[in-house]
Amino acid sequence: MARKLTPEEQPWCLDRVTKQVLINKGLENVCMDKSTICFIDGFHSKLYYRGYSIEDLARNSTYEEVVYLILHDKLPTKRELSDFSGWMREERDIPGQVVELLRKIPKDIEPMEILRTAVSYLGNLDPGRYDMSRDGMYRKTIRLISKMPSIVAYWHRIKNGLDLVEPDPRLSHAENFLYMLHGKRQEELLNRAMDVSMILYAEHEMNASAFTAVVIASTLSDYYSAIVGAIGALRGPLHGYANVEAMRQFDEIGSPENVDSWYRENILTGKKRVMGAGHRVYKSYDPRAKIFREYAKIFAEKYGGKVKNYYDIAYRLETLVMAQLCEPKNICTNCDFWAGICYYAMGIPIDLYCAVFAAARTVGWSAHIIEYTADNRILRPRLYYDGEVDKEFVPIDRR
């Protein structure tokens, strides 16, 4: 006779104290391991990489230095940083086969899917692809971090029928990315803002994409599969693609005067969510959003026009969110709300924003893969079984 299981038959789903079924939907607040990579204090707007505050890093550091910090758990000396940056610069080239592949992909494919395909193919070409040793993964990490911006820039130029621009080893990681994208060097303010954006996006604890990477790595699959999975997770609009969706939302609103009516029609009625607002961990203002917002303001004042229009729409929408969603539901605007306006000021097309995020985040994913697999245990949660068991199997001709 078909029957449902009692909770007592699934004791792993019971709260030890109350003996009630305990489901952490969305794995909220589930602590799955120890880590020394990143700490988020979501109640006090604080974020630390390896113990250093994001404000200090954004103000005083560079992306290369932050990559070194995240991977080595220490700030580099001048000499170490120079050697490390030199290594990153040498690894920027992409194999010709990958460029050929990019040329063959239909031009309407999303940049995140391009990145997923290109990283997967890079893995095919790597003779050490199955090397899951710490040193092997470290080397692959440096190679991939260095190549990701080149893939994004090449895709942009191929898609738009432009000549490819070779990486320039004299330029920093951020500066070189903008150079390869636009075919000419950019002004210092834009280069610095790109560098800071990459610092802000470099790492963020056990979010959906890092978790995906670690789940894959925990099966002792390979490094590239883990990164490809992470790219797939980041591509969702609830995660990294929110920086694209936030800009599309500003486009839909059109002008600052429309914000209030748009908000009434879409948010107050529950038809839509504000893209670039809310966070599983931050119950206070996202400290990265504050830094992106400062740059967005500088760009709005400096460049005016469409950048200022985006800024003014975002400013009014944020005011409504902070007044109406922050207090009752702890929903504040997040980094993805403001990041796109900065990228827009840098002349980057909107559909590329999540791919830029992914290029920067590869260091965080890699650090978690390396840390977790150093003391590996396969990740394998349970589900509470809410169906029936012991159903009678009826042969197909009697159904």
Binding site for ligand CMC (CB under 6 A): 26, 207, 238-240, 242, 267, 273-280, 329, 331, 334-336
- The helix (run of H) or strand (run of E) holding residue 290 is helix 287-303
Query: What is the nearest approach in angstroms of ligand CMC to the Cβ of residue 6?
Result: 28
- Between 229 and 240, whose beta carbon lies closer to ligand CMC? 240
- Between 21 and 238, whose beta carbon lies closer to ligand CMC? 238
CA neighbor of 217 nearest in space, from 99, 366, 338, 395: 366
- Between 26 and 127, whose beta carbon lies closer to ligand CMC? 26
**Dihedral angle at the C-alpha atoms of 243, 249, 255, 260, nearest 10 degrees?**
-120
Query: What is the nearest approach in angstroms of ligand CMC to the Cβ of residue 347?
Result: 23
Query: What is the nearest approach in angstroms of ligand CMC to the Cβ of residue 238?
Result: 4
Question: Pick the catalytic residue: 336, 368, 375, 390?
Answer: 336
- Between 32 and 105, whose beta carbon lies closer to ligand CMC? 32
CA neighbor of 267 nearest in space, from 318, 339, 340, 327: 318
Query: What is the nearest approach in angstroms of ligand CMC to the Cβ of residue 274?
Result: 4
- Tokens standing for residue 199: 């610092």
Residue-level length of the chain = 399
- Which one-letter DSSP state was computed for residue 223? H
- Which one-letter DSSP state was computed for residue 47? E
Question: How many Å apart are CA 253 and CA 313, to the nearest integer?
Answer: 8
- Tokens standing for residue 21: 């079924």
Nearest residue to ligand CMC by CB is 278
Note the Cα 338 to chain centre separation in Å: 14
- Tokens standing for residue 105: 């992909």
Question: How many Å apart are CA 249 and CA 316, to the nearest integer?
Answer: 13
The verdict on whether 182 is a catalytic residue reads no
Contact (Cβ atoms closer than 8 angstroms) between residue 371 and residue 139: no
- Between 141 and 334, whose beta carbon lies closer to ligand CMC? 334
Query: What is the nearest approach in angstroms of ligand CMC to the Cβ of residue 47?
Result: 12
- Tokens standing for residue 351: 């559909």
Question: Pick the catalytic residue: 156, 204, 279, 368?
Answer: 279
The verdict on whether 336 is a catalytic residue reads yes
Q: What is the set of active-site residues?
A: 279, 336
